[in-house]
Amino acid sequence: MANLLWQSNTSDLDERLMHFLAGEDVQLDRKLFLFDIQATQAHVQGLASINVLSAAECMALCEELDRLADAFARGDFALDGQFEDGHSAIEHWLTSRLGDVGAKVHTGRSRNDQVLVASRLYLLHSLEQVATHCIDIASVCLERAAGSADVPMPGYTHLQRAVVSSLGMWFAGFAEAFADNYQLACHTLDWINSNPLGTAAGYGVNLPLDRDLTTKTLGFDRMQVNPIYTQNSRGKFELQSLMVVAQSLQDVRRLAWDLSLYTTAEFNFVRLPEKYTTGSSIMPNKRNPDVVELLRSAAGVVQGAMAELSSILSLPSGYHRDLQGTKAPLLRATEHGIAALALIPDLLANLEFDRNTMTEAIDNGMFATDMAVDLAAQNIPFRQAYRQVKESLDDIKEFSASDSLKQRTSPGAAADLRLEQIRRRLMRTSDK
Ligand code: ARG
């Protein structure tokens, strides 16, 4: 690690200690690097607006930062162990190309607000992706619900056959879940949309930094005002963002559970597209739903990362190097969660349900509740109707599942799925 910002003589450094300090940080910074460069450009523009940098210096720095971003995106700039972190790499690039002008870049900032602003931009970018995936998942579910409102499916409670349900109701349930997840992502995007840049090490600086300008340039809704709280919010915002991912993945987990049951020979309600299954290394007869199972486990990966991240946050006010440890769980879980969500729309669009097996799995007992409710609607007290039906369970005659579904008129149920009501929630509050 030859390029340290804070040590002029690097020959007497203990390599083991340096390695322990940096850990995998510089590799993780690859995910944040372009955001760090973008925020550095906003920072130098802010410095120019208060005349700490000249317009020419500002332009030279911004152009060099553009070159660095291009080189990194092309794979021509290696962000690796020669640097302590991405922040050092940026300053090293600028000073090696622009000399003293490059050495001015860190005026009025600290790596503490630098890492915060890069992470904040990353969170916003990631949550936008989560929000988009939620819309896509909900949209496919709505489409499939509209086409299958009357397709019978057994409704289970305790995994025991309970009442007649429909495939449309099953899909509409996931549509509404992802409308909720979408709105949670939007609310969280509003909540975390604040600019930490310009708080320096956590106590401000003796310069009238143009924080309004950097807030606007970076597209934040507002600045995060208090420098001490800004530092203390590291990890807090990350945790909230992971919570959004986790909520979505809880629904994915339930979906995956349903699919892993419904694809068994015992249920045989649905066939997965071939590409979502894998073969067995020993049993030639098998196709396994491995993708669905890994989708099911993704929620656990994110929950584990949340536990790891939140356990780091037991700290007094101010920056502490412990906080570096929030980066790995944040990035790992966010990337994994987004990759999982991205697979769901295509999977759902291509599921092949078998109307016959689902209808055959509905036995006569599953009409008992309909019968009791019918009697109650004719003014027989419900408890009496319940007993009457229970006593004659064995002689329940053949009922039709489609007729039962046509009668399911309570709002939200099979005969009145209210898909439009769910669809309207997929618009940003500002678009409504
Ligand atoms: N890699 C560090 C982190 O993620 C950057 C900030 C370093 N700040 C410091 N005062 N040592 O927290």
Q: Would you say the CATH fold of 112-199+226-360 matches that of 15-107?
A: no
pLDDT at 429: 57
pLDDT at 432: 41
Contact 168, 148 (CB under 8 A): yes
Domain-wise residue ranges, the chain:
15-107, 112-199+226-360, 364-417
Pocket test residue of 31, 116, 324 for ligand 1, highest count of atoms within 8 A of CB: 324
Task: Tell me whether residue 158 is one of the annotated catalytic residues.
Answer: yes
Query: For residues 25 and 39, what is the distance between their CA atoms, to the nearest angstrom?
Result: 19
Per-residue pLDDT tens over the stretch 170-181: 999 999 999 999
Mean pLDDT of 324-341: 98
Per-residue pLDDT tens over the stretch 96-113: 999 999 999 999 999 999
pLDDT at 397: 77
What's the CATH number of domain 112-199+226-360, 1.10.3720.10, 3.40.50.10860, 2.60.120.10, 1.20.200.10? 1.20.200.10
Per-residue pLDDT tens over the stretch 287-319: 889 999 999 999 999 999 999 999 999 999 999
Q: 428 phi and psi, to 5 degrees?
A: -60, 145
Catalytic: which of 54, 280, 392, 410? 280
Query: For residues 292 and 314, what is the distance between their CA atoms, to the nearest angstrom?
Result: 36
**Ligand 1 center to 43 CA (angstroms):** 18
Mean pLDDT of 405-427: 96
What's the mean per-residue pLDDT of the chain?
95
CATH 1.10.275.10 fits 15-107, yes or no: yes
Residue 167 in tokens: 């495939």
Pocket test residue of 18, 113, 115 for ligand 1, highest count of atoms within 8 A of CB: 115
* Contacts with 154 (C-beta within 8 Å, 6 or more apart), sequence order: 161, 162, 164, 165, 358, 361, 362, 366
**Ligand 1 center to 113 CA (angstroms):** 9
Contact 127, 224 (CB under 8 A): no
Contact 357, 262 (CB under 8 A): no
Query: For residues 365 and 61, what is the distance between their CA atoms, to the nearest angstrom?
Result: 76
Pocket of ligand 1 (CB under 6 A): 25, 85, 111-112, 115, 319, 321, 323-324, 327
